[in-house]
Amino acid sequence: METKIQELARQAKQSSYQLATLSTEVKNDVLNSLRKNLINHSENLLVANKKDLNYAKDQDQSSAFIDRLTLNHDRIIAMADALTTIIELEDPNQRILESQTISNGLILEKTSTPLGVIAMIYESRPNVTIDAAALCFKSGNAVILKGGKEAIHSNRALHRVIVEALKEHSLSEVCVQFIDHTERAATHALLQQVDFIDVVIPRGGKNLIKAITEQSQLPVIKHLDGICHIYIDQAADMDMAEQIIINAKCQRPGVCNAMETLLIHQDIAKKVLPRFVEMLKEQGVRLKGCEQSCKIISNLEQASEEDWSTEYLDLILSIKIVKNTNAAIHHINYYGSGHSDSIVTEDKGCAEQFLQQVDSAAVYHNASTRFTDGEVFGKGAEIGISTDKLHARGPVGLKELTSYKYLIRGTGQIRD
Amino acid sequence: METKIQELARQAKQSSYQLATLSTEVKNDVLNSLRKNLINHSENLLVANKKDLNYAKDQDQSSAFIDRLTLNHDRIIAMADALTTIIELEDPNQRILESQTISNGLILEKTSTPLGVIAMIYESRPNVTIDAAALCFKSGNAVILKGGKEAIHSNRALHRVIVEALKEHSLSEVCVQFIDHTERAATHALLQQVDFIDVVIPRGGKNLIKAITEQSQLPVIKHLDGICHIYIDQAADMDMAEQIIINAKCQRPGVCNAMETLLIHQDIAKKVLPRFVEMLKEQGVRLKGCEQSCKIISNLEQASEEDWSTEYLDLILSIKIVKNTNAAIHHINYYGSGHSDSIVTEDKGCAEQFLQQVDSAAVYHNASTRFTDGEVFGKGAEIGISTDKLHARGPVGLKELTSYKYLIRGTGQIRD
């Protein structure tokens, strides 16, 4: 197994040099073929997906799981549409990021380049196969895809469509590699290929990401959980606060930029908490309060220490009353996941303090945390939202899939 | 031990929030105090250093090792001067990297921020203690210093001077932590602190960096070896080629941007190789040639496969004759370390191909590889030269010690 994975990674590295110099036009042509082929092969894809679905049902998987795994005509069209978006995006390579002429006449250009080879390790959503392949390809990177075993038939069929598109344009199929093994040993072997893989991007639950980070000898761009906070300051506009709270918690509770903990300034808690509780209960939200909240609201379920670092991804919310903005910031930096946090206040000083001191990828003033995504942030499409601080933070789009190098043009300069 | 290291890392994390919002003025004041204190405490520093030197001599360390370890008045002044340079550099934080107003009125600013906590692990040069502390501090990061056991007395004394400067400005000493343990277990414990440390930067020999990368649960900015190449194309200006070869190999052979392998186009090899060999031998360079080179030059030592991936850091050079520019690029991407490589040619097409396809941090046309450093590249000072592609590539200066975050200012926006 290890030899096989190594060979596959070596081939990917080899192909990455060719990919790095491919013109934007050729890349878009390939993506366009892929878009057409997806539609043309819909029936095959649905047949393959059916096998995965049958197996999942035999295994008594949850309906949410089966929903994530399911392909249908609409979803295939959505994958094709995502490709149209990626085709329209600017090529992130060959951008001149800095340029200077050194006193001895050397001309130095810092230019964006692909990263090289990206390993994508993900779970049951088959659309990630197409999205990841397309984003890596458009950014000039070779990619090695390792999907979840539950989606192996779907992913294999999708990969065949990708290979067909590559071949139509005389490109080697090793540009987009697919690991057709479901054993964990395959993932482990992949994570040791320091000579051939430049970065691994895991997508999925916290356990997957933790396991990969622990095993990996490769750099990882992590997408951990989104424990997002809204802090309602004493100087908040309460109508605005209510709208933001409902939006951040209820509009789509299963996503990483939804609120998990509500923080409230102690001086307004008595007044506003009953109103918030009523409003959230009306929306079907289960509430868990700190000790002080439970004193204000009788019958409120008490939050445990663990709640403050729990990503519910559900209609559940923890509520904590804090002394002031400092305490809110401290709570967020201590318990949060560095994803998205927001302050609601009319006090500009407090707002600026919060914006500067909260150590998260996206920090908001008077807005819902739900805006953190690649499309809103002008990236067009994203491969995920990084909770790391190195290289890419927040939405990871095409630009974040590039590195850079320095090109230095001289006329015979030597160093004194 | 592990508890102690964890506590120290936790304190560093705590202090990093304070550091992140420190004004440039205060940071420069601290660095200025440090500069003065270094000079004032020269005698103490030399006494401490003497202890390390005596121990090194007892251990029969090489003269090169003892030279790296040695402090003297001139070197203390050089450390102080390096601080003057860092004081003059622009603060890399709070730079607005991108700014946009989204259609719903949200104002989104991508702003540079410190990384947080940086662990610096290095070997015997005591000046790294001051350089690393100053660069991390100026970039708003907390730092944890772990120097080599051979320099423990010198580093301890230098750290005391740093703490004094911090205290003069009422800053906590935990901003610049020093691991006063020489056991390997301390390093291992440090490398597990995922909750408190954001990145580890190892400086030193290949073995140190390899060991750290393998053990680390933290992201690493690697500074591996510099296996740098000069490729002499058939269309090279030969006078220029000679000057660049001598400069890249001989001007300072012990540094990472010195040439280790010379590649020559086969069509000119017979003509130019004898001249190159004579010239390099005059400079005392030991030469190792490929099979073809050995046919041209009798008595030339033959290079082994291992030579192509060896960083000599000495007056030794491997020479290989290649078929063409493609073969040169292939050799560099296969055997090189992604540091600095150069082509000498008057053929602009070949030069551009080389610049685009060589996958290294710095790629040169008609210039010596010796220019790759932070000062030449306009960074003022550097903490090292990254051979990674993620986050920082090439010279790592103040800007490369920052991350970024998105600040989003709204007026009550919620997501549809």
What average pLDDT does range B255-276 have in this prediction?
97
Nearest by Cα to B151 from B209, B70, B219: B70
- The ipTM estimated for the assembled molecules is 0.94
Query: Chain A contacts of B106, Cβ < 8 Å?
Result: 367, 371
Measured CA distances, B365 to B27, B228, B375 (Å):
39, 14, 20
Token pair, residue A15, equals: 């192909």
Nearest by Cα to B196 from B7, B390, B20, B4: B7
Query: Chain A contacts of B232, Cβ < 8 Å?
Result: none
Torsions phi, psi for B303 (to 5 deg): -80, 145
pLDDT at B104 over 80: yes
What average pLDDT does range A261-284 have in this prediction?
98
Considering chain A, what percentage of its residues have pLDDT values greater than 90? 91
Instruction: Please work out, in degrees rounded to the nearest 5, the angle formed at the alpha carbon of residue B221 by the alpha carbons of B61 and B123.
Output: 15
> Does any CB of chain B come closer than 8 Å to the CB of residue A360?
yes
With an 8 Å Cβ cutoff, are A366 and B243 in contact?
Answer: no
With an 8 Å Cβ cutoff, are A390 and B115 in contact?
Answer: yes
Query: Chain B contacts of A389, Cβ < 8 Å?
Result: 115-116, 198-199, 403
**Better pLDDT: A280 or B62:** A280
pLDDT at B207 over 90: no
What average pLDDT does range B257-262 have in this prediction?
97
C-alpha A117/C-alpha A10 separation (Å) is 10
pLDDT digits 0-9 by tens, A164-221: 999 999 999 999 999 998 888 999 999 999 999 999 999 988 888 989 999 999 999 9
Measured CA distances, B410 to A336, A345, A346, A364, A369 (Å):
22, 11, 11, 7, 11
For residues A27 and A40, the answer to whether their CB atoms sit within 8 Å is no
Q: Domains, chain B, ranges and CATH?
A: 2-222+390-409 (3.40.605.10), 228-371 (3.40.309.10)
> Does any CB of chain B come closer than 8 Å to the CB of residue A284?
no
Interface test with B, best of A110, A343, A386, A390 (most B CBs within 10 A): A390
What average pLDDT does range B266-280 have in this prediction?
97
Query: Chain B contacts of A242, Cβ < 8 Å?
Result: none
**Stated pTM of the model:** 0.94
SS (H, E, C) chain A: CHHHHHHHHHHHHHHHHHHHCCCHHHHHHHHHHHHHHHHHCHHHHHHHHHHHHHHHHHCCCCHHHHHHHCCCHHHHHHHHHHHHHHHHCCCCCCCEEEEEECCCCCEEEEEEEECCEEEEECCCCCHHHHHHHHHHHHCCCEEEEECCHHHHHHHHHHHHHHHHHHHHCCCCHHHEEECCCCCHHHHHHHCCCCCCCCEEEECCCHHHHHHHHHHCCCCECCCCCCCEEEEECCCCCHHHHHHHHHHHHHCCCCCCCCEEEEEEEHHHHHHHHHHHHHHHHHCCCEEEECHHHHHHCCCCEECCHHHHHCCCCCCEEEEEEECCHHHHHHHHHHHCCCCEEEEECCCHHHHHHHHHHCCCCEEEEEECHHHCCCCCCCCCCCCEEECCCCCCCEEECCHHHEEEEEEEEEEEECCC
With an 8 Å Cβ cutoff, are B20 and A410 in contact?
Answer: no
H or E element at residue B8:
helix B2-20
For residues B341 and B231, the answer to whether their CB atoms sit within 8 Å is yes
With an 8 Å Cβ cutoff, are A415 and B198 in contact?
Answer: no
Lowest mean pLDDT among A407-416, B151-160, B202-211: B202-211
For residues A314 and A327, the answer to whether their CB atoms sit within 8 Å is no
Q: Bridge-partner residues for A404, per DSSP? A: A112
Torsions phi, psi for B138 (to 5 deg): -65, -35
CB atoms within 10 A of CB A331: 18
CA distance A364 to chain B (A): 5
| Facing residue for B408 by CB, picked from A248, A371, A406 | A371
pLDDT digits 0-9 by tens, B23-40: 999 999 999 999 999 999
Confidence of residue B265 (pLDDT cuts 50, 70, 90): very high
What average pLDDT does range B118-147 have in this prediction?
95
pLDDT of residue A183: 84
pLDDT digits 0-9 by tens, A61-102: 998 889 999 999 999 999 999 999 999 999 999 999 999 999
pLDDT of residue A370: 97
C-alpha A393/C-alpha B114 separation (Å) is 12
pLDDT of residue B222: 86
pLDDT of residue B378: 87
For residues A122 and A411, the answer to whether their CB atoms sit within 8 Å is no
pLDDT at A255 over 80: yes
C-alpha A311/C-alpha A337 separation (Å) is 9
Q: Is A238 exposed, middle or buried (0-12, 13-18, 19+ CB in 10 A)?
A: middle
Look at the block and give the residue holding tokens 């057709």. Answer: A180
| Facing residue for B333 by CB, picked from A17, A370, A412 | A17
pLDDT of residue B55: 96
pLDDT digits 0-9 by tens, A301-344: 999 999 999 999 999 999 999 999 999 999 999 999 999 999 99
> How far does CA B133 lie from the centroid of its chain?
15
Query: Chain B contacts of A113, Cβ < 8 Å?
Result: 359
For residues B329 and B358, the answer to whether their CB atoms sit within 8 Å is yes
In chain A, which residue's Cα lies nearest the Cα of B339?
A405
For residues A177 and A144, the answer to whether their CB atoms sit within 8 Å is yes
Number of A/B CB contacts below 8 angstroms equals: 195
> Does any CB of chain A come closer than 8 Å to the CB of residue B199?
yes
Interface test with B, best of A359, A388, A393 (most B CBs within 10 A): A359
Considering chain A, what percentage of its residues have pLDDT values greater than 70? 100
pLDDT at A224 over 80: no
CA distance A80 to chain B (A): 24
Token pair, residue A385, equals: 């939202």
What average pLDDT does range A22-49 have in this prediction?
97
With an 8 Å Cβ cutoff, are B376 and A251 in contact?
Answer: no
With an 8 Å Cβ cutoff, are A389 and B403 in contact?
Answer: yes
Confidence of residue B182 (pLDDT cuts 50, 70, 90): confident
pLDDT digits 0-9 by tens, A282-310: 999 999 999 999 999 999 999 999 999 99
Q: What share of chain B is helix, strand, coil (3-state, %, to 5)?
A: 45, 20, 30
pLDDT of residue A124: 82
- DSSP secondary structure, B160-175, as one string: HHHHHHHHHTT--GGG
User: What mean pLDDT, rounded, does chain A reach?
Assistant: 95
pLDDT of residue B91: 97
Look at the block and give the residue holding tokens 């908490």. Answer: A273
Query: Chain B contacts of A408, Cβ < 8 Å?
Result: 362-365, 367, 371
pLDDT of residue B2: 87
Token pair, residue B123, equals: 């070997």
> Does any CB of chain A come closer than 8 Å to the CB of residue B363?
yes
Confidence of residue A1 (pLDDT cuts 50, 70, 90): confident
> Does any CB of chain B come closer than 8 Å to the CB of residue A279?
no
Nearest by Cα to A215 from A192, A236, A195: A192
Look at the block and give the residue holding tokens 């320091």. Answer: A194
Confidence of residue B74 (pLDDT cuts 50, 70, 90): very high
Confidence of residue B204 (pLDDT cuts 50, 70, 90): confident
What average pLDDT does range A151-167 have in this prediction?
97
